[in-house]
Structure 1
Amino acid sequence: MGQKINPLGFRLGTTQSHHSFWFAKPKDFPAELQEDERIRDSIKNYVQKNLMKVSSDFEGIIRIEIHKYKELNTTQVKIDFGRQNLLTREEEEEKDDKEEKKKLELLKTKAKIIIQLIPEPYEEPHILAEYIALQLKNRIPLGKAMQKVIELMEETDIKGIRIQIAGCIGGKERAHVQWIREGRLPLQTIRAKIKYCSYKVQTPHGVLGIKIWMFVDFVDEEFVDFVDEEFVDEEFVDEE
């Protein structure tokens, strides 16, 4: 009883796919895994140091996919952004150039970054979690912040959401958990497409943990395609 599991890992191979796509020998696996972590950290650090100063406190990164082609000695990184008014065409090119140089230094291989803007950012739990974190930093009451997220969710096609916040909420000495749910959330159904994120926020009263589950819809297909055909750049691969 009380056994919890990550809803994304629970659905790998059915309604969820991996964030990294590559094969490696057992002895090379730890190094490849650490390399992926460095790529993601460098991208997030770049956004925090540059883009967040220009626009707002929103990081806006929803997903970072890494594809490695060892036989071609190349790496492709796809970044899904949820802030449509943040990146202009010139900023995209500038970010692509700077980040590509960083990847060349880190990976010592040929790297290419693809930036994709998500048309419906409020359907992504990472964006909503960052919104709640921003409200808490501004000392907005927790209940008001969560209710606003519910209102934003109702404007989308999401069928259900659950928001859970844990920690010393409101400056109380004892840590506790508060949560709110709206709509359906079939976590035990594997063919139910669930979006999930876990986010930490530093407040004047300590660190709070934000978790958001979102129910999109039921998936009829038995398996999902692990390789996104639109993501694979044939011209980039054929250059070698």
Structure 2
Amino acid sequence: MNPPGSRPGITKNHHPNRSAQPKIHSKYLREDKQVRDCIDAYVHGRIWNSDSKGSGAEGIERVGIRRKTDSLPVETHTVSPAVPIKSHGRGIEQLRKNVQQNLSDRIGRVHITLTEIAKPYGEPNIPAKYIALQLKNRVAFRRTMKKAIEPARKNGRKGIKIQIAGRPNGAEIARVERAREGRVPLQTLRAQTDHRYYPARTIYGVLGTKVWILKGGVKMLNLFR
């Protein structure tokens, strides 16, 4: 279950901050995916060419896109220990040009801003990527899940749940392994629960990694404003 999928308008806002006619809605979705894939590939390539290779907590946490009539503002949330874009004076400009080339000219000028995340393990995307990287390097899955849970709890999260499905450690029969600490309600709409899925492609096959993190309870949004 993806908890954020049932909470837009209740405790969360919609990620695409735009409105579109049904005929062009699919086009906007494809363009948004192109922007996210381009940014993720660019940052991932810079990380693996820098000294922060293999640190685990790195890369993109999320990309926010706001569409306007003549421009496309993009807010990229990255992890502070590994932001190699800022190490080069023309890093952001080069990233903007790469994104602009993959989009049509009718979108307008692309504006990219970087926002560093001080506590990366408080967000579910970073632990999911860390677990996938460790599984790819053939690290024991139980040890990996335990190491991913500890920093999330230290960052003040109420609970975390991890699930790995596939053939962990090369087992002959596929199974599902879970680890949890604290409470992680999935059906309570007032609970601010985030979820991420990230696949780990190993020599034994693909291992699906899912992470749920409870950040706390929040007040429900005003649906009639």
TM-score by length of structure 1 reads 0.84
Return the letter of the residue paired with 2:142.
Answer: G
In structure 1, give the amino acid aligned to 2:91. K
- 1:89, CA displacement in angstroms? 7.7
Q: Go from structure 1 to structure 2 and tell me whether the alpha carbon gap of 1:223 and 1:119 turns closer, same or farther (over 3 Å shift).
A: farther
Secondary structure at 2:208 match in 1: strand
Superposition pairs of residues 200-215 of structure 1, within 5 angstroms: 200-215=199-214
Answer yes or no: is the 8 Å Cα contact 1:15–1:223 preserved in 2: no
Paired with 1:215 and 1:199, the residues of 2 have a C-alpha distance of 18
Deviation at 1:92, TM superposition (A): 6.5
| Map 1:54-203 → 2, pairs under 5 A | 54=50, 55-57=52-54, 58=56, 59-70=58-69, 73-82=70-79, 84-87=80-83, 90-91=86-87, 93-105=89-101, 106-108=103-105, 109-203=108-202
Distance in 2, Cα, partners of 1:24 & 1:15: 23
- When residues 133 and 89 of structure 1 are mapped into structure 2, their CA distance, relative to the original with a 3 A threshold, is closer
- The answer (yes or no) to whether the contact 1:92–1:115 under 8 Å persists in 2 is no
Distance in 2 (alpha carbons) for counterparts of 1:150 and 1:136: 15
User: 1:221 offset after TM fit, Å?
Assistant: 4.0
Structure 1 spans left out of the alignment, 5+ residues:
225-240
Quote the offset at 1:214 in angstroms: 0.6
- The answer to whether the Cα contact below 8 Å between 1:160 and 1:183 also exists between their aligned partners in 2 is yes
Structure 2 counterpart of 1:222? 221
- Structure 1 window deviating more from structure 2 (13-22 vs 171-180): it is 13-22
Which segment is superposed worse, 85-94 or 54-63? 85-94
Distance change in 2, residues 1:154/1:33 (3 Å): closer
Corresponding residue for residue 50 of structure 1? 46
State how far apart, in whole Å, the 1-side matches of 2:13 and 2:89 are.
28
Check 1:90–1:144 CA distance in 2 against 1; reply closer, same or farther (3 A cut): closer
Q: Which runs of 4+ in 1 moved over 4 A?
A: none
Instruction: Please give the TM-score of this superposition, normalised by the length of structure 2.
Output: 0.90
Q: Partners in 2 of 1:93 and 1:12 — Cα distance? A: 38
SS in 1 for 2:139: coil
| Other structure's SS at 1:21 match | coil
1:90-143 per-residue CA deviation (whole Å, 9 max, x = no partner) reads 436533101211232224211100110011111011111111122212221111
Aligned-pair distance for 1:173? 2.1
Q: CA RMSD in A?
A: 2.0
Counterparts of 1:194 and 1:175, CA distance in 2: 28
- Tell me the CA shift for residue 223 of structure 1: 4.1
Contact persistence 1:81–1:116 (CA under 8 A): yes
How many residues are paired up? 218
- Extract unaligned runs of 5+ from structure 2: none
Find the aligned partners of 2:166 and 2:84 in 1 and give their Cα distance.
38
Look up the match of 2:34: 38
